[in-house]
Amino acid sequence: MSERLEYSIIIPYFNDDLSEVLDAIDESYKSCFTSANVSLNVVCVNNAGKEFVPIKKYSFELSMINETENINSPYSARNRGLESSDSDWYIFLDATCFPASEWLRSINEFKNNNIYAANIEFYHKGKRTIGDIYDSIVNINNQKKIEHSGVATTACLAVSKETVNNVGLFKEGVRSGGDILWTSRATSLGFNIVFLSDWKVRKASRDTKNLLKKQFRVAAGWFNIWKVNGVLMSNLTKRLLLFFLPPNPFFLLRQSKMRNIKLSAYDKYRVFVFGWLLRIVSMVGIVYGIFKK
């Protein structure tokens, strides 16, 4: 790389201990780049939670800022990170995603007309609940989202300054679905989303309670997404039908095999039942999203 390129990693957080993710970024940066041609800064945006105070220095520039207007909106927090930076590339990273040691080497593949989505690999902390199992099997499958829907999530997403200048900021104030709205708008403007299988981050799976809460929150944002994309009635009808139907067990088994997750016979039964429960929770979330102000 002959020209000096600047990269900003933007991490929204709410009551998170950022030590592990910052250490992982630091390790990757030091192992992948010894040249002055790459400049890295990390912007951590506190979304009205407990402030994280770093206790060590890192090999990259670290900025700690706050989002105080739109509380509980990680997308508004990401917008504040964008506004505080002026870089060639921006990488949106969740506070609970931990990059692999070679993670930053993939930036050599980035091209301005593309958006890049990472390969999310789940792990669990403590006792593995049915929520952990289901989360690891089904959720944040960027490869599937890109191939089937042309969208991706901000768990780990890289975009160029050119893309941001054309697409604009995330929708302010939304709690869920802002990444789907933003990437959908980007593809409609001609930008491509590329899945990088070797660009890996590890993410802690959610236990049963937290996954149920997340499913409700995400489903509450679907009404707005469907409305913006002009697919409200078709998707609402589909979800209403799914409310009465059990999940496809063959799909769940294919997904577990694809992600190398071994299931006992009892686990398979629990995943099936839990998937049906999540459909009920989703429908309740959709109804809430329709009527909330």
Residue 113's pLDDT band (boundaries 50, 70, 90)?
confident
197 and 214, same domain (yes or no): no
- What percentage of the chain has pLDDT greater than the value 90? 61
The mean pLDDT value for 232-238 works out to 90
153 and 249, same domain (yes or no): no
Non-local CB neighbours of 2 within 8 Å, separated by 6+ positions:
37
Cα dist. 10→62, 100, 176, 212 in Å? 10, 17, 17, 27
200 and 232, same domain (yes or no): no
Residue 72's pLDDT band (boundaries 50, 70, 90)?
confident
For the sheet containing 38-46, what is the strand order? 61-66, 38-46, 5-13, 89-93, 156-160, 114-123, 192-204, 97-99
pLDDT at 1: 42
Indicate if the pLDDT at residue 105 is higher than 90. no
Average pLDDT, rounded, for the chain:
90
The mean pLDDT value for 26-35 works out to 80
H helical segments located in 176-264? 178-188, 208-229, 232-244, 249-258
pLDDT at 288: 92
10 and 56, same domain (yes or no): yes
114 and 154, same domain (yes or no): yes
56 and 107, same domain (yes or no): yes
183 and 199, same domain (yes or no): yes
144 and 34, same domain (yes or no): yes
Structure tokens at 182: 């933003």
**Segment among 66-70, 114-118, 226-230 with least mean pLDDT:** 226-230
Q: Which of 205, 229, 246 is the last residue of a domain?
A: 205
Q: Which of 180, 205, 230 is the last residue of a domain?
A: 205
What's the angle, vertex CA 21, arms to CA 130 and CA 18, rounded to 5? 95
Q: What is the CATH number of the domain that holds 190?
A: 3.90.550.10
- Return the amino acid letter for 184: S
Q: Which of 190, 205, 220 is the last residue of a domain?
A: 205
Helix (H) or strand (E) holding 114: strand 114-123
Helix (H) or strand (E) holding 136: helix 130-138
160 and 189, same domain (yes or no): yes
182 and 268, same domain (yes or no): no
Domain count, the chain: 2
229 and 262, same domain (yes or no): yes
**Segment among 83-92, 98-107, 201-210, 275-284 with least mean pLDDT:** 98-107
- Domain range enclosing 100: 5-132+139-205
57 and 167, same domain (yes or no): yes
